[in-house]
């Protein structure tokens, strides 16, 4: 009997594939968006998961397209095609993971090299300044002297490239060697980049901190008793001053309360 259009035709295979491809693309984009919000998309494990999802979605899409366009034996007759899609998905996934692993190894090598460079820079700084402390009258210099100017330049240059833990080491060295003591400071730390420095429980008593950048520095339980130059802006920019001792000898929380009483009084 001739087809008068009253019976619904099955879509051809190409149309079905395009429909399934569009649906698969939407599902994959949504899956990547969800995974990206929760995990690092450059992680090999995440990329492997995404690859598996893509392969499953594409394989299911091919099966659906075959069922929509063929007879009951369409899936079994096209088993090699389905296997090829799965194999291709596995190859692409393996390649994605391999590239991610190579990128990770490259980044780890760069990080290690940068860490070694920071360690070498700090060690060279200690050797240079230590030599000046032992062999030259650095302790007797004033901040305006040429010797102090040279050490200050070295200090600002080195601290700029240090990580938070090494910034702590350098600052404690300056404190313990007496180079930034409030009674007779030798080296000015004005404009020194101590942002993000790990200064938890650091002994910074009598330190001269005029003009230092302490933004996001962790000063939890630090001892800043009789330190000089710590102003409200620096305190506000720090990550934490919880339970720290401020220059007037009070705990930071008590200092805030007394400050509020003074402003409200």
How many angstroms separate the CA atoms of 213 and 197, rounded? 10
Please check the confidence at residue 14 and state whether its pLDDT lies above 70: no
Within 10 Å of residue 197's Cβ, how many Cβ atoms? Answer: 30
Domain ranges of the chain: 13-111, 136-264
SS (H, E, C) 209-256: CCCCECCCCECCCCECCCCECCCHHHHHHCCECCCCECCCCCEHHHHH
Within 10 Å of residue 57's Cβ, how many Cβ atoms? Answer: 20
Q: What is the CATH number of domain 136-264?
A: 2.160.20
Per-residue model confidence as pLDDT tens digits over 217-244: 999 999 999 999 888 888 889 999 999 9
Per-residue model confidence as pLDDT tens digits over 42-68: 677 777 777 787 777 777 777 777 777
């Amino acid at each position: 009997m001739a087809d008068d259009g009253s019976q619904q035709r099955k879509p051809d295979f190409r149309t079905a594939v395009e429909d399934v491809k569009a649906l698969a693309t939407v599902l994959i984009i949504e899956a990547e968006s969800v995974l990206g919000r929760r995990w690092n998309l450059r992680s090999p494990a995440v990329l492997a998961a995404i690859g598996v999802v893509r392969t499953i979605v594409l394989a299911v899409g091919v099966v659906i397209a075959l069922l929509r366009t063929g007879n009951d034996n369409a899936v079994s007759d096209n088993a090699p095609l389905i296997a090829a899609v799965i194999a291709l998905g596995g190859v692409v996934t393996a390649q994605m993971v391999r590239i991610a692993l190579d990128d990770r190894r490259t980044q780890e090598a760069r990080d290690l090299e940068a860490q070694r460079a920071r360690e070498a820079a700090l060690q060279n700084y200690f050797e240079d300044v230590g030599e000046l402390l032992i062999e030259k009258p650095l302790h007797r210099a004033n901040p305006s002297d040429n010797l102090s100017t040279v050490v200050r330049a070295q200090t600002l240059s080195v601290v700029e490239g240090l990580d938070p833990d090494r910034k702590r080491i350098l600052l404690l060295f300056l404190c313990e060697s007496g180079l930034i003591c409030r009674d007779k400071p030798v080296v000015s730390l004005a404009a020194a980049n101590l942002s993000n420095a790990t200064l938890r429980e650091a002994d910074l008593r009598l330190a001269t901190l005029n003009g230092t950048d302490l933004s996001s520095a962790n000063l939890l339980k630090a001892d800043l008793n009789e330190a000089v130059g710590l102003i409200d802006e620096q305190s506000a920019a720090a990550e934490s001053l919880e339970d720290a001792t401020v220059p007037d000898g009070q705990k930071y929380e008590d200092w805030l309360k007394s400050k509020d009483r003074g402003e409200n009084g």
